[in-house]
Amino acid sequence: MVSRWLLRPSLVALVYAWAVAVGGSCAVSAANSQDIISRDEIVDRIGPRKPRSRGIAVVPDAGPGPAEATAPASEPRGMALPAIQFEFDSDRFTPGARRQVEELGHALLQPALRSFVFSVQGHTDSVGSAAYNRDLSTRRASAVKRYLVDDMSVSAGRLIEVGLGEGYPITGIPSDDERNRRVEVVNRGSAAHRPAATEDGTAHRPSRRALLVGIGEYRNFSRLAGAPNDATAMAEFLVGQGGFDRGDIRIVTDSDATRSNVLAVAQEWLVDGTAAGDDVVLFFSGHGFQQWDQDGDEADGMDETLVPVDAYLDGDGQVAGMITDDEIGALLDGLRGRRVWVVIDACHSGTSTRGVGVDESWRYAKTLRLPDGSPVRLPLDTDTEFAVETARAPTDTMAKGDLAGVAGVESATRAEDPDLVVWTAVRASQLALLDREASGNTAGSVYTRRLLWGARDGRADADQDGTVTMLELHRYVQMESEAYCQRHPRDCKRGLTPQLEAMPSRTADQAFGFDAPELSRTAAFAKDILLQAADAGASSDGPGLRLQLEPGPKLEVGTEIEVVVESSRAGYLTVLDIDAAENLTQIFPNDESLRAGVSPQVRPGQSVRLPGARAGFRFQAIPPAGRGLLVAVVSDESVGIERLTGRHKDLAVVPSPRAYVIEASEALRVDDAAAAGGRGWSVGTLEYEILPPGGSR
């Protein structure tokens, strides 16, 4: 008996679709040439409805790719292709079948169909065993898809092969009739489950990207043990609670963090690799410094700089090869239209070496020293800037236009950008510090560690409402930085005053309020199909179905879960889960719950709790983090749906989730046709989110 079942990070989905299949195990005659349906007729029959003379018309996307296709109609448009026949008891085409598949391929490449996704569904007659016929129909559907992809250059992502065997004969025809040996192609309509395409329709841009730089092993200057750990810790935060995939993040540390590489990756990965509306994070932990202003845009005559690993002393004893605030500013200008978070954990001032004593305190300061601790000469050797800085009263958020110089955002136009948020470790004249209270794997910087304590661990949530706002986080890191200085006064001769640069109207927003992670493609596909069913009237009226998760829709990894379903109609219950990793699992009916006495037949108004008190296991939220979809269906007749669910009672991940969804919809259509008085099923969906341990959103 299963002692515990780990509920996938998403909860199932049942879907509404049609079916396709291929001939049974008996031989069939080759199609005559006149039986082949032309590409134009295929386009006409499975393409979008023709525009009407008045009212609202449905038209296809005119672009070359599948970016934003409209639904083909209020319900899927499908057609049988009887000319697609196979050799006896095999998945090899007859000559006529090959010609028909070629016509189908040409049709799918027409502009009118190029924006849509299609299912290729194989059917057989009932001659032979049900299991054999299902396998044969699957192989034949796969043969059609393979030819379309390999020989006709149709994108594989636009085709879903489904083998339905003998279970779905043509209405009014005996199941052993050879006319049931058919292939059907069904237009699945809008492809909301697919990523958006770029302008040329060939690729898509991710919804979020991050560049994280951490430099500890400098070639020519004092090392910063722990700075690369800052970048790693930030990456874990973005993955665990920011909705980032690991593939969304570039980490550049130590020897790779040269000036040329950092700037090149920033341009290619962040600027060129994102589009308006995307979330972008730029993080730097390392040395900060100054150099003479080159273009006259600095009131004090100095550019603040970030120090890459290959910076060096030139012949005049000045630091060369740094990245200036002007260069960072140009980078940010290239990111206009994105939502941008900049985190700079570095010193921002040339005066920052002053006041560092001869003890070991210099080892913790994030401003330049030579490897032996000797100070590096600054271009501007004066305390004037420090006097100006300390004369200004600290504020919770800086005024717009007073953005941190090192982030390159001094311009008034950029300062007024509501989509830019800049977090910096210290004021321009202060020293950013490594944390002498941490070591080993926990080694890192004072600022980054406390920023993550506040945002990641929720310590900054002063009002305990579950959301860490910018203002709450800023106050928290200021308070924690001041407390650190009280414990280590020799390190903090000038204090630690973290800065937040953001529009005042945004300070009540979530500190790192990235766009919520999207549903997986499989879950979105399931919802697409359900919406088509609702548009067709199959589930838009009649008895309702309520779906609930306990303890709630936001679930920390490790949380035990109960699924509660309440239906206002009697019927046969099916519950599916689709997680953030594309996995679909039929969580009910399952063998363990059925043995424990949980009946698949529900009564009106009855609350069914899954997995059941005596099932011997519990559902549990497990990684990966992200959004999932739970779908419940109650069907009046169990004949159609039970044919499908009976094969998936083992609580195992379904190998072909989109094919399952399509067969589920066909099964519901069959049950619907058998129901007295109209629609024979109800559907309910619930989106939920799996959070990492200690996570909050």
Q: Compute the average pLDDT of residues 326-355.
A: 76
The predicted-structure confidence for 79-133, as pLDDT tens digits, reads as follows: 888 888 888 788 888 888 899 999 999 999 998 888 788 999 998 888 888 889 9
Q: What is the pTM of this model?
A: 0.54
Q: What is the pLDDT of residue 679?
A: 56
pLDDT of 267 > 50? The answer is yes
Q: Is pLDDT larger for residue 478 or for residue 355?
A: 478
Residue 577 — very low, low, confident or very high, per pLDDT cuts 50/70/90? very high
Please give the pLDDT value at position 660: 93
Q: What is the pLDDT of residue 392?
A: 32
Question: Mean pLDDT throughout 573-597?
Answer: 92
The answer on pLDDT for 244 being more than 80 is yes
Residues 623-632: what's their mean pLDDT?
Answer: 84
- The yes-or-no verdict on residue 76 having pLDDT over 70 is no
In the three-class reduction of DSSP (H, G, I as helix; E, B as strand; rest coil), residue 6 is classed as strand
Q: What is the pLDDT of residue 385?
A: 37
pLDDT at position 637 over 50: yes
Overall average pLDDT of the 297-316 stretch: 77
Given the residues 123, 193, 347, 492, the one annotated as active site? 347
Q: Is the pLDDT of residue 271 over 70?
A: yes
Question: Which pLDDT score is estimated for 416?
Answer: 57
Can you give the residue ranges of every domain in the chain? 5-12+520-691, 33-189, 208-497
Q: What is the DSSP string of 172-238?
A: TS-TT-GGG--EEEEEEE--TTSPPP-TTSS----SEEEEEEE--S-SSS---TTHHHHHHHHHHHH
- Residues 301 and 385: beta-carbon distance below 8 Å: no
Q: Give the whole-number percent of the chain exceeding pLDDT 70.
A: 72
Average pLDDT over residues 462-468: 83
* Choice between 315 and 219, residue whose per-residue pLDDT is larger: 219
- Domain spanning 33-189 has what CATH number? 3.30.1330.60
pLDDT at residue 305 is higher than 80: yes
| Among the ranges given (220-234, 427-441, 506-520, 540-554), the one the predictor scored with the smallest mean pLDDT | 540-554
Q: Give pLDDT, residue 276.
A: 84
Candidates 4, 1, 7; CA nearest to 588 is 7
Of 28-42, 72-86, 171-185, 611-625, the range with the lowest mean pLDDT is 28-42
Give the model's pLDDT for residue 638.
Answer: 65
Confidence band, pLDDT 50/70/90 cuts, at residue 532: low
Tokens linked to 353 = 């070496």
Torsion of the alpha carbons at 557, 561, 566 and 571, rounded to the nearest 10: 100
Least confident span in 105-119, 142-156, 682-696: 682-696
Instruction: Identify the band that residue 539 occupies on the pLDDT scale cut at 50, 70 and 90.
Output: very low
pLDDT above 70 for 603: yes
Read off the pLDDT of residues 150-161 as tens digits, 9 standing for 90 and up: 999 988 888 999
Rounded to 5°, the CA angle 542-546-552 comes to 160
CATH number of 5-12+520-691: 2.60.40.2550
Which listed residue (106, 193, 204, 287) is catalytic?
Answer: 287
Q: Which positions ≥6 away from 172 have C-beta within 8 Å?
A: none
Please answer whether residues 18 and 121 qualify as being in contact, where contact means their C-beta atoms are separated by less than 8 angstroms: yes
Ranking 21-30, 634-643, 648-657 by mean pLDDT, the lowest is 21-30
446 neighbors 434 (Cβ within 8 angstroms): yes
Peptide bond into 66 cis (omega under 30): no
Which architecture does CATH list for 208-497?
A: 3-Layer(aba) Sandwich (3.40)
pLDDT band at 509 (very low <50, low <70, confident <90, very high): confident
Using 50, 70 and 90 to split pLDDT, how confident is the model at 4?
Answer: very low
User: Looking at residue 591, what is its pLDDT?
Assistant: 93
- Does this chain's domain 33-189 share its CATH topology with 208-497? no
| Rounded average pLDDT over 164-183 | 85
Q: How many CB atoms lie within 10 A of CB 656?
A: 15
Question: 35 vs 122, which has greater pLDDT?
Answer: 122
pLDDT digits (tens, 9 = 90+) for 175-218: 888 888 888 998 887 544 444 333 333 334 457 899 999 999 99
CA angle 185-98-120, nearest 5°?
20
pLDDT at position 402: 34
User: Are the CB atoms for 419 and 338 separated by under 8 Å?
Assistant: yes
- Mean pLDDT, all residues of the chain: 76
For the record, the structure tokens of 221 come out as 């200057």
pLDDT for residue 562: 93
Let me know if 287 is a catalytic residue.
Answer: yes
- pLDDT over 60 at 401, yes or no: no
